[in-house]
Amino acid sequence: MISRQPYRDPHIGAALLKKMAERLGDRPQTITLMEVCGTHTMAIYRAGIRALLPPQVRLISGPGCPVCVTPIEDIDRAIALTRRPDTLIATFGDMMRVPGSHSSLQREKATGANVRIVYSPLDALKLAKNHPDKTVIFLGIGFETTAPAVAGSLLEARRQGVKNYQVLCSHKTMPAPMAELASDPDLAIDGFLCPAHVSAIIGAEAFRPLCEDHALPCAVTGFEPLDILQGIDMLLDQVMTEQARIDNQYRRVVKPEGNRRARHILYQVFEPDLAVWRGLGPITNSGLRIREDFAEHDAVRQIPLQTAPAPEPTDCRCGDILKGKTAPQHCPQFGASCTPETPIGACMVSAEGSCAAAYKYDQKGIT
Structural contact between residues 283 and 277, judged by C-beta atoms closer than 8 angstroms: yes
How confident is the model at residue 234, as a pLDDT?
A: 98
Q: How confident is the model at residue 4 (pLDDT cuts 50, 70, 90)?
A: low
**Quick one: average pLDDT of 251-260?**
97
Judged by average pLDDT, the poorest of 14-18, 78-82, 303-307 is 303-307
Given this model, what pLDDT does residue 306 score? 75
Model pTM above 0.75: yes
Would you state the pLDDT for residue 351? 85
Q: In this structure, what are the phi and psi dihedrals at residue 118, rounded to the nearest 5 degrees?
A: -125, 165
Q: How far is CA 84 from the centre of its chain?
A: 29
The answer on pLDDT for 366 being more than 60 is: no
Per-residue model confidence (pLDDT) at position 2: 52
pLDDT of residue 291: 98
User: Given this model, what pLDDT does residue 312 score?
Assistant: 75
pLDDT reported for residue 367: 46
**Angle (nearest 5°) at CA 199 between 122 and 281:** 85
Q: Which percentage of the chain shows pLDDT scores above 70?
A: 98
Mean pLDDT computed over every residue of the chain: 94
Q: Answer yes or no: is pLDDT of 201 > 70.
A: yes
**Hey, is 160 helix, strand or coil?**
helix
Sequence spans of domains, the chain: 68-173+258-302
Q: What is the mean pLDDT of residues 32-61?
A: 96
pLDDT in tens, 308-337: 777 777 778 999 999 999 999 999 999 999
Burial class of residue 335, CB neighbours in 10 A (0-12, 13-18, 19+):
middle
Question: What does the pLDDT average to over 62-77?
Answer: 94
Cα–Cα distance for residue pair 103/96, rounded to 1 Å: 10
pLDDT band at 3 (very low <50, low <70, confident <90, very high): low
85-99: per-residue pLDDT in tens? 999 999 999 999 999
Measured in Å, how far apart are the chain's first and last C-alpha atoms?
Answer: 34
- Check if the beta carbon of residue 343 is closer than 8 Å to that of residue 324: no
Phi, psi torsion values for 178, nearest 5 degrees: -65, -40
Choosing among 3.40.440.10, 3.40.50.11740, 3.40.50.700, 3.20.20.70, the CATH entry for 68-173+258-302 is 3.40.50.11740
- Predicted confidence (pLDDT) at residue 47 exceeds the cutoff of 50: yes
Given this model, what pLDDT does residue 361 score? 94
Asked if pLDDT for residue 13 goes beyond 60, the answer is yes
Average confidence (pLDDT) over 103-128: 97
**In this predicted structure, what is the pLDDT of residue 1?**
47
- CA dist list (Å): 16 to 13, 22, 197, 276, 348: 5, 10, 24, 39, 32
Beta bridge partners of 272: 288
| pLDDT range class, residue 283, cuts 50, 70, 90 | very high
* pLDDT score at 39: 96
Average pLDDT over residues 219-229: 97
**Per-residue pLDDT tens digits for 127-163:** 999 999 999 999 999 999 999 999 999 999 999 999 9
Phi and psi at 89, nearest 5°, equal -100, 125
